[in-house]
Chain A
Amino acid sequence: MQRITIDPITRLEGHGKIEIFLDEEGEVANTYFQIPELRGFERFCVGRPVEEMPVITNRICGVCPEAHHMAAAKAADAVYHVDPPSAAKKLRELLYSAFYVTDHTTHFYALAGPDFVMGPDAPVAERNILGVIHKVGVEIGSQVIQARKYGHAVVEMIGGRKVHPCTSIPGGLTKGITEEQRAEIEEMGRWAVNFATFSLKLFNDIVLKDSAYLALILGDIYSHHTYYIGMVDSENRVNFYDGKVSVVDPDGKRIGKYAPHEYTDWIAEHVEPWTYLKFPYLKKIGWKGFVDGKDSGVYCATPLSRLNAADRMATPLAQEEYERFYSTLGGKPVHQRLATHWARLIELLYAAERWVELATDPEITSDNFRAQPTEKPTEGVGIVEAPRGTLTHHYWTDERGILTQVNLIVGTTNNYAPISMSIKKAAQSFIHKGVVVSEGALNRIEMAFRAYDPCFGCATHSLPGQMPLQVTIRDARGEVVDVLRQPC
């Protein structure tokens, strides 16, 4: 049997590897997306005091430490049965909203943007962030840097540090913000709303007005009929920081909502012997393998999923875009994975609007930013929406608040099965008779998983950035017959 190895960086780096097996006719028989690393947080957090978890677990991922910091803080709140004052929750959510603006900006401009702005068949040398800047103007490059700067400035003001924030503790935060800081945060937030609006206009002008792109988005190759999950508030609007997790079926019908402590009723994880990462699926439906459809428990947790799982957006400008999104793409739910990029920009706008809302909340400068726990610590679950998927932290402690067990289901992991399926489908579409059918095909296979913004920082440690591919085609004896390579 022939084999094609797609090694995102190289064979020897812990970033994930794709093995494609061909049958006797040279058609794709099967694909394996392997994650080659395990760091063992679930083990070595045992024995640690629970208040340390917000600073220990943010080291799971330096790309989204804010998500782990928040999920850990919420789980620690739950362990102590303490409800933080509303000012504390708002401060945490404000930090988190600013972080989302930074994170989604980085993804769209540096990672996904090149495919759309330059086109999947553009010369490789132009298909990067510099190419994007040349096409749309240098001014945009400086705005992208500005968006990242502002987001990190807010993270530092509330979280104490730009990377790996340190201020969330059980019951709230160690500090609040001053009126001067609040005014500065508000000003930066208003800038971020304009930046997000501009980003959507850019997407509209370059992608949606181009019928070829629209056809690519709406085509079948990048489409999977799966379940979707995403956190919603009490009015079923998208929320990143708090609420219940809504689950919708492939027809878009809500089959339930679960509170953090109910997650094990809904989510289970399947283990395969050829990869360290687990495959979460919907427990009520069951693991049926890497297949689409209503009978398969495979679900997706991405920006697209959150939009599908919610009824609407909580802020006015984002809601307008939300309506345009579904009317353009033919109603809910949207299954086309490439639409995730558009969904991400709608979330970018929502995050920026929410940033301003919270920065102008009269309570945000309150001194009442923490509650002291009074109950005996036991067990608790904290869930937030990480940019790359629903993030669950579950802790058990002894009566001193020392961890006895830890369970983590991290953002990207949710999407491990659907990403694997998307890779297989793209490979089947673009590889025939043992050869990759066109020059742009390698990039089109890449696009299949880039839409999910896979951050194996959470599982291993890959980062947003152009992901190079190397495809090695081997004959039945394992001899290399051809090497295709896509440099950045």
Chain B
Amino acid sequence: MSDKPKLAMYWAAACGGCEIAVLNIHEKILDVDANFDVVFWPVAMDAKYKDVEAMPDASITLALFNGAIRNSENEHLARLLRRKSKIMVAFGACACEGGIPSLANLSRRQEIFDAAYHTPSTDEPDGNLPRPNWTAPEGELHIPELYPVVKTLDQVVPVDYYMPGCPPESHQIAAVIDVVIQALQGKATLPPPGTVLGAGGSTVCDECKRARNEKKIKKFVRIQDVQPDPTLCLLEQGILCSGPATRSGCGALCPQAGAPCVGCYGPADGALDYGARLMSAVASVIDSTDPKEIEKILDGIPDPAGMFYRFNLAGSLLRASKAAWENET
């Protein structure tokens, strides 16, 4: 074992896109190899889970943790890596804010089961639904139980830094790795705990090249129903774009490609609740002072819960619907 600083990367409830984004730093991965001893990275190498358990506490310099906390396994690994690591980074939208999988917090656990196992293509399971413990003819079999709600990483363990994005952009990952390497060599200092790394301090709108004309709108439209002007602000054309509430750092990729920002970089600085910030931004473009008309205009947003909290439900003040919480006893 070398005396290089130790690096760990782990995924919990996630899609693997964060790992692909890390691989997409291409040749830069050689810098990681030169400067770190990668002790735990299930995607690329033997997990050595028992080895991690055997390590002294705080012996891993840097742990990049992606994915939300969906079940007891996820939580177990979060606690283990927290204990073993000096610096714990919530990596990607799911670890930071719950991400898309936390939209499940609008549903009861039973509803999730019913939807998955009662579809037009699924055989009637005759009460044979998957269960945590089952006795096969040959012996006991176990699978982990789902938690009633999805949690963010910092709802389970203390987190030192946050790297937002779904996934974080590769050039941002490379830049953060550079800073950490320099800090380890004494050439730079790490920012205070709680800092958001690999992103900007303003909003996606500030990075967006589309022209804004302070135009107000009389109605919201759906992207498939209109031919938006490719040079003008999408929100000012009535398309719900999450840019005004979303942290900068991606380079406004989606709006540049003609698609609205979906908010994957999470709340901009100072926003206590992402959805509330987005709602106030959206309200400010509505061209009316008549409450009835305003209501009618807002009815043009087809799915407020999903569109205002697309990547952020677990990390929001709301966190989950009342129905989902009822399972949490």
Contacts and interface: CB of A to CB of B under 8 A. Distances in A.
B222 to A, nearest CB: 6
A401 interface: yes
Contacts of B302: 49, 400-402
B305 interface: yes
A56 interface: yes
B11 interface: yes
Contact of A272 (B103, B121, B130, B137): B130
Contacts of A287: 123
B262 A166 contact: yes
Contact of B303 (A47, A62, A145, A466): A47
B135 to A, nearest CB: 9
A47 B146 contact: no
A53 B96 CA distance: 22
Contacts of A34: 141, 143
Contacts of B46: 466, 468, 487-488
B225 A40 contact: no
B20 A267 contact: no
A444 interface: no
Interface stretch (B110-118, B186-194, B205-213): B110-118
A439 B269 CA distance: 55
B47 A10 contact: yes
Contact of B19 (A35, A167, A463): A463
A21 B258 contact: no
Contact of A46 (B113, B115, B134, B254): B115
Nearest to A157: B257
Contacts of B125: 271
B70 interface: yes
Given A36-B144, A171-B224, A271-B122, A160 B257 contact: yes
Interface in A179-211: none
A107 B13 CA distance: 23
B158 interface: no
B257 A175 contact: yes
Contact of B103 (A44, A271, A401, A409): A44
Counting chain B residues whose Cβ lies within 8 A of the other chain, the interface size class is: 35 or more
Secondary structure call for the A interface = loop
Interface in A333-354: none
Contacts of B45: 465-466, 468, 488
A271 B44 CA distance: 32
Given A10-B47, A166-B262, A401-B222, A62 B17 contact: yes
A52 B240 CA distance: 12
Contacts of B120: 264, 394, 407
A451 to B, nearest CB: 20
Given A14-B73, A32-B141, A49-B302, A62 B15 contact: yes
Interface string A145-172: 1001100100000011111101101110
Contacts of A166: 253-254, 257, 259, 262
Contacts of A56: 100, 103, 310
Nearest to B124: A271
A361 to B, nearest CB: 21
Interface in A8-36: 9-10, 12-15, 19, 21, 29-30, 32, 34-36
A263 interface: yes
Interface in B6-56: 11-21, 23-24, 26-27, 42-50
A21 B146 contact: no
Interface residues of A, number: 93
Contact of A463 (B43, B70, B103): B43
A184 B319 CA distance: 45
B101 interface: yes
A362 interface: no
A376 interface: no
Name which of A39, A61, A264 has the most chain B CB atoms within 10 A of its CB: A39
A166 B17 CA distance: 14
A3 B139 contact: yes
A287 B126 CA distance: 15
B282 interface: no
A169 B259 contact: yes
B123 A269 contact: yes
A59 interface: yes
B44 A465 contact: yes
Interface in B53-70: 67, 70
B122 A175 contact: no
B106 to A, nearest CB: 6
B131 interface: yes
Contact of B123 (A1, A37, A270, A405): A270
A406 interface: yes
Contacts of A148: 23-24, 26
A487 B48 contact: yes
A60 interface: yes
A160 B47 contact: no
Name which of B120, B129, B226, B307 has the most chain A CB atoms within 10 A of its CB: B120
A12 B138 contact: no
Interface string A44-87: 11111101100110011111010000000000100010000000
A42 interface: yes
Nearest to B14: A461
Name which of B18, B254, B256 has the most chain A CB atoms within 10 A of its CB: B254
B119 interface: yes
Nearest to B264: A164
A191 to B, nearest CB: 16
Interface in B258-273: 258-259, 262, 264
Contact of A263 (B16, B77, B117, B121): B121
B14 A43 contact: no
B318 to A, nearest CB: 15
B139 A21 contact: yes
Given A39-B13, A268-B121, A273-B129, A152 B24 contact: yes
Interface string A254-282: 00000000011001111111111010100
Contacts of B256: 160
Contact of A43 (B111, B123, B128, B224): B111
15 contacts: A10-B47, A30-B138, A37-B144, A40-B107, A44-B107, A52-B303, A149-B26, A160-B253, A161-B254, A163-B24, A263-B121, A271-B122, A275-B130, A405-B119, A457-B16
Closest 8 CB pairs of A and B: A62-B17, A160-B257, A174-B258, A43-B115, A10-B49, A21-B138, A40-B112, A62-B16
Given A32-B136, A401-B222, 14 more contacts: A19-B141, A36-B71, A40-B115, A43-B107, A51-B222, A59-B166, A160-B256, A163-B24, A164-B264, A174-B223, A175-B230, A175-B257, A273-B131, A276-B143
